[in-house]
Amino acid sequence: MRSKWAILWLLVVLAVGAHQVWFWFSARLDTDVLALLPEDEQAPEVGAATRKLADGASRELVLLVGAKDWEAAQRAADVAREELSRDPSLLKPSALDASSLDVALELYRPYRDRLLTPAQRAWLTRATAEELGGTALMKLYQPAGPRLTDWEADPLGLWPDWWAARAAESTARPRDGRLWLSGEGREWVLLAFHSQVSAFALGADGRITGVVERARAAVTAAVPGSRMVVAGVPLYAEAAASQASNEMSTIGIGSMAAVLLLVWLTFRSVRPILLVGVSLVIGCAVAISVTALVFDRVHLLTLVFGSSLVGVAEDYGFHYFAARQGKPPSERGALMRGLLPGMVMALLTSVVAYLALGIAPFPGLRQMALFSATGLVGAFLTVACWFPHLDTGALPVTPFAQRFATSLARWPRFTSTRAWWTGTAVLALFILGGLWRLKTRDDVRQLQGAPAHLIADQRELGRLLGLPSPAQFFLVRGQDAEQVLEREAKLKERLDVFVADRMLPGYRAVSDWLPSAEQQRADARLSARAEAQAVAAVAEATGEAPTRARFADGVLTPEQLLASPASAAIRQQWLGAMGDQHFSIVMLRGLDAPSLLPHLAEAARGLEGVRWVDKTQEISGLLERYRELMGGLIVLGYVAVLLLLVTRFRRQAWRAWLPTVVGTLFTLAVFGWVGEPLQLFSVLGLMLLLGMGVDYGIFMLEHPGEGSAWLAVALAGVSTLLSFGLLGLSATPALRSFGLTMLLGEVAIWLLTPCCRLPAGKDVS
């Protein structure tokens, strides 16, 4: 029977191996940070809007190249463009320059008469025939110069003002065929490049980052005193890939090397090292394959988190070889049968704890949960099915193992004495004081671990260009495109109050570039009447008979605008049809005052079809809710685990349960005393402590008084400390908090477990 299970598991492992070849050659890794975030529970369209904004920027690099004077800035920009364009398969210049204005002019020219600003609309409504005629005469006789159109097509000179209002959405202006702005003591040239590779398919080689840094160095060398500021999703994606790769090497390889060193010191044999290594490799391979099959793609952060699996999955191999020492090979089958009940119970508690991660609606957490749970199952099945067949040689007790196993007799044991109760009281006061000081923090920015220089460049570029925020916006809904544009117009009336009061620099809406059909028709009638009066006044004053140009009969439609390159600025804000509704996004520029956010939320109140979205606040609220939910689940989990332990260990179950409870409270108390806030990822660490910490007590109760059980617990505890403790080195704040939680909790549980062991000569009955 054991041979059948071994063969069956071999077939599964071979299938996993074939899948691994396909997985690594098909680049099924994901670096998109949005994939880690929960979907909006009440409004899926909010998630779609966020995704649309992210997709629109996922391949774009925006650069500002600046110098003390305009000539130097142009030279520096030419150097930067040349360096960044060397590899057309990597980066391609975007059509973001003064020439792009010609494309937009051609699109809008037939509809010029129905493109009015609110100020123009108000003026045309109240202006007299004399005022209109005077303005038209002034425009007719003004000095010749560059014009957007001839006088007959725009006798009142309305169109330049409309374009000036559109240009106000950015501080960049055309100059010498480039886009220029001045700020912070420099003249800047605006450049844009499009990545030919998806930002979320980038590897850890940092190709775009390398090109950008070479361009930065070339600019500085060619034009001393010049500066290049660059931002874009591809740079963040490459930084995330590089960081994840480094951390996987530090955490995964480092912890595996530490585990194998422990195995060597304990057993002084290559066979345990190889077999434990095989169980770890197979466990990780199974985890990757199952996760890829369920989620299609595996996130890099999942691999970083999963690399700590090494610290848990080797427990089963340790337990087997610790019990195997000093016993003849002929007993290995019976030995495994005796170990299986305790190992299965330990596996169940760990898997349940890992799968609890999947309750929260975070795709990233669900991946981590499935990855870790299946990885443990894979490692366990490798030990249970293969070790009795592959472990054929002798395994004598080494001096190191002997000394460690006998140290259990010298380890203090909890007894009802004054000294123990005094120590317990001191510990209780420490825990209560720490819990009293414990604070919470639920901030989505804890998911970020971007390099500081990228964040600094992003902020500077956003400040200079006045870019809109992708985290706070208004989502406008309507039965059709026309209703969406009409509702945008009503929202803009309220936002104009904030702009007039200088509380908000501005906003960007689709209806700025595409008024509703009804508004276009009304503006066309208004401009036709006013311009007819103006042309008549000019004819009377000059004795000539000028005529007003003819314009398109219909209206400019969303389909026409979106099909033109002129829509590049607002294309990502038009969501179009989703289900039976249409949606658009109104974005806000220069939003850097948190105190303004509640007022903006109030601006949407009472406007049908308009919703204020503060994605940062929404996700932070989700983090808070699920932290509270997971906290409640931990309490229920402790109760459930205690009941499970009671079914096997009866009145002695508290000995396996209490160390984990105290270790959890001790960790929270330390956080309180040192000022480390409690967050969702800390709570997730506490959940895993429940599953893994109880394992040590189970091993000690299953084999009371046996030095091999203590040896297995000691090895498992130290290796877990190494792997999870290394997570505290992660540059990702969430993983670092998780690692610190596991480090403190594991130390406390490991030290307390032998103190709660059974008295000598007593069993669990």
Confidence category of residue 163, pLDDT binned at 50, 70, 90 = confident
pLDDT band at 32 (very low <50, low <70, confident <90, very high): low
The structure tokens listed for 20 are: 């691994």
**Whether 314 contacts 279, CB under 8 Å:** yes
- Regarding predicted confidence, which is higher, 490 or 44? 490
Q: What is the pLDDT of residue 204?
A: 47
pLDDT in tens, 98-126: 456 678 888 899 999 999 999 999 999 99
299 close to 30: Cβ distance less than 8 angstroms: yes
Query: Distance between alpha carbon 483 and the CA centroid of its chain, in Å?
Result: 34
The yes-or-no verdict on residue 202 having pLDDT over 50 is no
Maximum average pLDDT range among 249-263, 308-322, 428-442, 623-637? 428-442
Mean pLDDT rounded to a whole number for the chain: 83
pLDDT of residue 658: 92
As a whole number of angstroms, the distance between CA 326 and CA 349 comes to: 30
Q: What is the pLDDT of residue 2?
A: 65
Element of type H or E holding 193: strand 186-195
pLDDT at 765 over 60: no
Residues 561, 573 contacting (CB under 8 angstroms): no
pTM higher than 0.85:
no
Q: Work out the pLDDT band at 652, boundaries 50, 70, 90.
A: confident
- DSSP secondary structure, 689-711, as one string: HHHHHHHHHHHHHHSTT-HHHHH
pLDDT at residue 133 is higher than 80: yes
Amino acid at 198: S
pLDDT, tens digit, 9 for 90 and up, residues 242-265: 776 677 666 667 776 776 777 788
Most confident of 285-299, 418-432, 719-733: 418-432
Average pLDDT over residues 76-87: 90
Check pLDDT > 60 for residue 749. Answer: yes
Amino acid present at 549: A
Q: What is the pLDDT of residue 34?
A: 54
Residue 694 has which token pair? 């109880």
454 against 672, higher pLDDT: 672
pLDDT for 199 equals 52
The pLDDT of residue 53 is 67
Residue 544 has pLDDT above 80, yes or no: no
Tell me the residue ranges of DSSP E strands in 579-665: 581-589, 610-614
- Please state which of the ranges 34-48, 260-274, 546-560, 737-751 shows the lowest mean pLDDT: 34-48
Instruction: Give the whole-angstrom CA distance, residue 452 versus residue 230.
Output: 13
Hey, CA dihedral for 512, 517, 523, 528, is it positive or negative? positive
What share of the chain has pLDDT > 90, as a percent?
27
